[in-house]
Structures are given as C-alpha cells and as structure tokens.
Amino acid sequence: MKPLTLLVLIVASFSLKAQDYFEDPRDGDTYEIVKVGEHWWFRSNLNFQTATSWCFQNPDDELCEIGNFYYPADLPNVCPDGWRVPTWEEYTLALHFLMDTLNVPQNSVKFMREDIKSNKIPISAEGVLGITFLNDSIYFNMLATGFIQGKKWIKRTHSTTTMWVKKEIMDLPQPHLHIREDGMVKHSHHHNVIDKPRKQRRFSIRCVCDVE
C-alpha cells in the first residue's frame, strides 16, 4: 500500500463524545468506555490476565501498564461477559463514524482490498489510508504499543499497534489489524501466528458491545 499524502488528524472538542466507565467483574479493573455510533468501545487495551497472556507470565513488565498481549486462542472468552473482540466491520463502522462526526472529507480517505506479500507469501488484505485510530485523544486514545514476538517486545521504527480482529476464516488463523499513523491494514497468515514459540506473536485487544 502506498501512503496518501494527506492524513486527516482527528482534532475536536472533548464534548463530542459520550463517555462512561465499566468495571470488569472478573478482576475489578475499570475501563473508560466511549459511545461510537451503535457500539460502546473500551478506550484502553484490555488488561485481563489469561494463563498464556504476556502480563500473566511477566507481571512486573512496565508494558502491562498500557494493556496485555494475547495469543489467538484467548479471543473467544477474553472480553468480559456481554463484550466481544471487534470484527473488521465494527472497526470500519467506527472509522465512518469518526469521518461523519468530525467532518472528514470522503475524498481524503481510501478503503481498499488487495493482495500483499507477508514473509514472501501472498495474502489477501483490506485496509484504509488517510485516517487512523492511532493518537486519537477524542475517542479511542490508541497508542503505538507494538506487539510481543516470542519473549520480546517489538516496536518498529514506524509507529504502530496491532489488534486482534474476530472473524472465522477457512484454513487461516484469526486476522489481526496493524494500525499505523497513516491508516491500517487487516490480514491473516500462519507465519508468526501458528509458528515456533520464539516466532509466535501476541497482540492487543479492545472490547466492544452493542448500545442497548
């Protein structure tokens, strides 16, 4: 994907968003949540500990102050009861909400679907250029947290964070979403996900639920 020259920065009054809090009954952690269209979203990464999550295995790591990192096997039950790991459709709905609410010009944002190469392997990908959740202090408060590979934290030279996306795909593991300063891309592949332990990656999670 070639980055667009125009990147829309999300800047608006704090009063634009409907805000509340949710306490996870499993561990007592409290999350700021925000209403985005027909959904409530966590404004921070999930902290809940599973037996294979990074912060359960490394409780003193400073990274755990900004959220936990998970393998794909955790996705079905990692969010609190009534909440779920977002789908790609829910992420794109959230972007459209931001575009409408903040009057982002339609011609400055490009949604695309194309084949790319990851680790020299062709894979199908969907993405967005020209708008991002990263460093948005109004709604999502998403930071460049990188990801875990094996026993190491990976934060690449370009600012990025990676989130799990919930979707059943035939013969492929759960997809994930690389969120960058110029947009985001969603894809799924076996390498680094179903791989040797030192190569396996753990990603962050945001939780979402429907507005009642």
pTM strictly above 0.95: no
Give the pLDDT confidence score for residue 136 in this predicted structure.
Answer: 79
92: left (phi over 0), alpha (psi -120 to 50) or beta: alpha
Give the pLDDT confidence score for residue 12 in this predicted structure.
Answer: 36
End-to-end CA distance of the chain: 38
Q: What angle do CA 172, 174, 179 make, to 5 degrees?
A: 125
> Which regions of the chain does DSSP assign to beta strands (E)?
18-23, 30-36, 39-42, 110-118, 121-129, 147-149, 152-154, 160-164, 176-180, 183-187, 201-202, 208-210
CB 185 within 8 A of CB 111: no
pLDDT tens, residue by residue, 115-167: 655 555 666 778 899 888 887 778 998 988 898 988 888 876 568 899 999 87
Residue given tokens 């404004």 in the structure block:
43
> What Rg, from alpha-carbon coordinates, does the chain have?
17
Give the pLDDT confidence score for residue 195 in this predicted structure.
Answer: 60
Look at 2-16, 31-45, 152-166 and tell me which has the smallest mean pLDDT. Answer: 2-16
pLDDT tens, residue by residue, 174-185: 788 899 888 888
> Within the chain, how many helices (H) and strands (E) appear?
2, 12
Q: What is the C-alpha separation between 79 and 119, in angstroms, rounded? A: 30
Residue given tokens 């962050």 in the structure block:
204
Instruction: Look up residue 157 and give its two tokens.
Output: 């030279």
